[in-house]
């Protein structure tokens, strides 16, 4: 089956620190990989994605590279800000019958950035 | 970009009543919509996949008679929680797929349901 394992939090950093949230996956087929962010009291927003091996997704200073050999998609940011405090979900999608794509999520990692 | 809207964002209902949550894709046609449930400090649990014009496909363990899903048009799917109980209180999130090779999935803002 499909599964996503991501680093358990919570993660607490000071502003301008370097962030890494690890994510590994198992999948049947060739998945697309995603990072979603959920700010307090809000729904999920797509942060970045990668659809094939060695692709690098990037957005708002965050990056993640699709590593097929290690089945990983680690999220990184060089200098975090207080506004980055949120829950981050790693996810994969594979085709699930016809043209449907089903998302499988990791458990989420709560990031708190202190001033 | 694509936007998915959910309504209501918060709802309180009494035990035994039914409540409907709407999910709309605002600027694209969504042949497939997904309904998730999120428990506090936990991940999203896929409840069902909703395809326009056909019956929803429910995940194992989800009661299809309790969580009624209707996808009547390419821009609207509804989730009705029937005979609600306090344990149904949760955050429900829908998402919609724009299809195509990009297979990007967009999420609604979520709906907080509290059953009292």
A3 in contact with chain B, both atoms CB, cutoff 8 A: no
Please tell me the predicted confidence (pLDDT) of residue A100: 58
Provide the 3-class DSSP secondary structure of residue B17. Answer: coil
Size of interface A-B (CB pairs under 8 A): 57
In sequence order, what are the residues at sequence separation of 6 or more whose Cβ sits closer than 8 angstroms to the Cβ of residue A58? A48, A64
Please tell me the predicted confidence (pLDDT) of residue A1: 81
Tens of pLDDT, residue by residue over A61-113, are: 999 999 999 999 999 999 999 999 999 999 998 866 555 567 888 989 999 99
Residue A68 in contact with residue A50, Cβ under 8 Å?
A: no
Residue B44 in contact with residue B93, Cβ under 8 Å?
A: yes
The answer to whether residue B101 scores a pLDDT higher than 70 is no
CB contacts, 8 Å: B105 with chain A: 34, 46, 93, 101, 103
Please tell me the predicted confidence (pLDDT) of residue A30: 87
Provide the 3-class DSSP secondary structure of residue B109. Answer: coil
Tokens of A52: 């094939």
Q: Which of B9, B105, B108, B112 to mutate to test the interface with A (most CBs of A within 10 A)?
A: B105
Query: CA-CA distance, A71 to B94, in Å (whole number)?
Result: 28
Contact A49 B104 (CB under 8 A): yes
Contact B105 A46 (CB under 8 A): yes
Please tell me the predicted confidence (pLDDT) of residue A104: 86
Provide the 3-class DSSP secondary structure of residue B59. Answer: coil
Picking from B4, B53, B47, B101, the residue whose alpha carbon sits closest to that of residue A99 is B101
Q: Which of A30, A43, A57 to mutate to test the interface with B (most CBs of B within 10 A)?
A: A43
A19-56 b/e (C-beta count within 10 Å ≥ 16 → b): bebbbbbebeeebbbbbbbbeeeebbebbbbbbeeeee
Provide the 3-class DSSP secondary structure of residue A76. Answer: strand
From the list A42, A103, A110, the residue facing B105 with the nearest CB is A103
Contact A46 B106 (CB under 8 A): yes
Largest CA-CA distance found in chain A, in angstroms, rounded: 48
Tens of pLDDT, residue by residue over A29-51, are: 889 899 999 888 777 888 999 98
A5 to chain B: nearest residue by CA?
B43
Q: Which of B39, B55, B104 to mutate to test the interface with A (most CBs of A within 10 A)?
A: B104
**B58 to each of A115, B5, B15, B36, B97, how far by Cα in Å?**
44, 22, 23, 11, 17
Q: Which residue in the block uniquely carries the two structure tokens 């990791």?
A: A106
Tens of pLDDT, residue by residue over B39-85, are: 776 778 889 998 888 889 999 999 999 999 998 888 999 999 999 99
How many CA within 13 A on the CB side of residue B78?
12
* DSSP codes joined into one string, B4-41: EEEE-SEEEE-TT--EEEEEEESSS--SEEEEEEE-TT
């Amino acid at each position: 089956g499909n599964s996503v394992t991501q680093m358990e939090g919570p993660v607490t950093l000071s502003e301008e620190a370097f962030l890494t949230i690890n994510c590994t996956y198992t999948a049947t087929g060739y998945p697309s990989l995603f990072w979603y962010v959920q700010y307090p009291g809000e729904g999920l927003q797509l942060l970045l994605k990668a659809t094939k091996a060695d692709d690098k997704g990037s957005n708002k200073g965050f990056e993640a590279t699709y590593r097929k050999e290690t089945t990983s998609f680690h999220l990184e940011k060089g200098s975090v800000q207080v506004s980055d405090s949120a829950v981050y979900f790693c996810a994969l999608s594979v085709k699930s019958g016809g043209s449907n794509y089903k998302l499988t999520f990791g458990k989420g990692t709560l990031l708190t950035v202190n001033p | 970009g694509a936007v998915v809207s959910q309504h209501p964002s918060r709802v309180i209902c009494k035990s035994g009543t039914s409540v409907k949550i709407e999910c709309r894709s605002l600027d694209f046609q969504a042949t497939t919509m997904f309904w998730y449930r999120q428990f506090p400090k936990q991940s999203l649990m896929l409840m069902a996949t909703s395809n326009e014009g056909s019956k929803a496909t429910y995940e194992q363990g989800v009661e299809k008679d309790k969580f009624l899903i209707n996808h009547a048009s390419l821009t609207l799917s509804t989730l009705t929680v029937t005979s609600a109980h306090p344990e149904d209180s949760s955050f429900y999130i829908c998402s919609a797929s724009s299809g195509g090779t990009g297979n990007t999935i967009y999420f609604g803002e979520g709906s907080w349901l509290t059953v009292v």
